[in-house]
Chain A
Amino acid sequence: MKPFKLDNEQKIKSGFKIPDGYFEKLTTEINAKLADNEPKVVSIFSRKKVFYYAVAAVLVLALSIPLFNYYNATTSLSQEEVEDYITLQSGITEDDLVNALDKEDIEKLKVDLKIEDKVLEETLLNNTNLEEYITD
C-alpha cells in the first residue's frame, strides 16, 4: 500500500453536516436577540439604575440618623433635666447621692438663715415642742 501523502490524496472534507434551514433560523434568532437587547436594555437598565440610586439614597439617610443624633447631642444639661433624671431613675440611691457630693457641695447646700434674736425668742416661747430640735 502506498504511504499516505496529504497532497496526493483527493481533498478530504471535514464531514460536518449543517441542519436544513439552519442559516435562515440563525438570522432570525440573531435579529431577535439584538432587538431584545438594544433599546429595551437601555431603558430597563436606566430604570434599574434610578431604583438603585433611590435605594442607596434612602440607605445613606437612614444610616446617618444615629450619626446625626450623635453629633448633635447636647453636652450641657439643664438643671431641670438633671433633677428629673435623678428622681426618675430608681437605680440611684441616697447613698449614691451622698457619695457624689464633696465638701464644697455640702457648704453650698448650707442655708444661711439670718434669724433675728427677737423672732427666735418669740418662736421658742410660742412653740414649746421645738425643744427637741435645738438640743444639739
Chain B
Amino acid sequence: MQEEKEFIAQLLDPKTQNKAFQKLLHDYQRPLYNHIRNIVINHDDTDDVLQNTFIKVFKHLKDFKGDSKLFSWMYRIATNEAITFINQKAKKNGLTSEELQTKIVNNIKADDYFDGNEIQIKLQKAIVALPEKQQLVFKMKYFEELKYEEMSEILSTSVGALKASYHHAVKKIEEYMNSN
C-alpha cells in the first residue's frame, strides 16, 4: 500500500510523471486489453476503448482519492468505458446492447482476430445468452482469473453476491453446452 502511495505520488509529480505513466501503461495494458476485449469482443473496438481508458486514467489521476486500489480504479474505468461503448454502438445500429452482442458473437468466426474452435465458439454463444451482470462476472472469473475480492472492489458488489452470480452463470452455461 505504501509502495502504491509512492507510485501515485510519482504519477502526480510533473518531474516523474512520464516515467511512472510508462510503467503504468506497461503493467496494465495486457490485463486491461483482455478485460475490455472480453466485453466488446472485436479487436478494433477494444483498441479504441483501451486508448480512451488510459487517457481518462491519465487525466483523472489528480482526482484519484486512494480510497480503492489503483488496480481496481483502472478496471472500473475500463469496465464503464467498455459498457458505454457497447451501449452507444447498439444505439447507433438501432439495436439493444444484448442484440448487438449476440450479433457479434454469431459472426465471430469471420473475425480475423479470433481463432477459436467449435467449443470456444459455443462457449461465447452460451455466455452472450446470460444476463449482463452474470456475463461480466463469468468473464472476469473464468477468463481473466481475477479473485473475488478484486472483483468485489471493481464492481462494488459483495463477494457473496459475486459467487452466487458465478454459480448461476456456470449452471446456465453447462445447460446450454449440453442442449445445443
Contacts and interface: CB of A to CB of B under 8 A. Distances in A.
Nearest to A3: B178
How many interface residues does chain A have, given as a range? 20 to 34
Interface stretch (A30-38, A64-72, A87-95, A106-114): A30-38
A13 B29 CA distance: 19
B43 A4 contact: no
Interface stretch (B69-77, B78-86, B93-101, B119-127): B119-127
B54 A30 contact: yes
B126 to A, nearest CB: 10
B62 to A, nearest CB: 13
Interface residues of B, number: 37
B115 interface: yes
Nearest to A17: B113
Contacts, number: 73
A115 interface: no
B162 interface: no
Interface in A15-35: 15-19, 22-23, 26-27, 29-30, 33-34
6 contacts: A14-B37, A14-B38, A14-B120, A16-B113, A29-B51, A30-B54
Interface of A: 3-6, 12-19, 22-23, 26-27, 29-30, 33-34, 37
Interface of B: 21-22, 25-26, 29-30, 33-34, 37-38, 41, 43, 47, 50-51, 54-55, 58, 108, 112-117, 119-121, 123-124, 142-143, 170, 173-174, 177-178
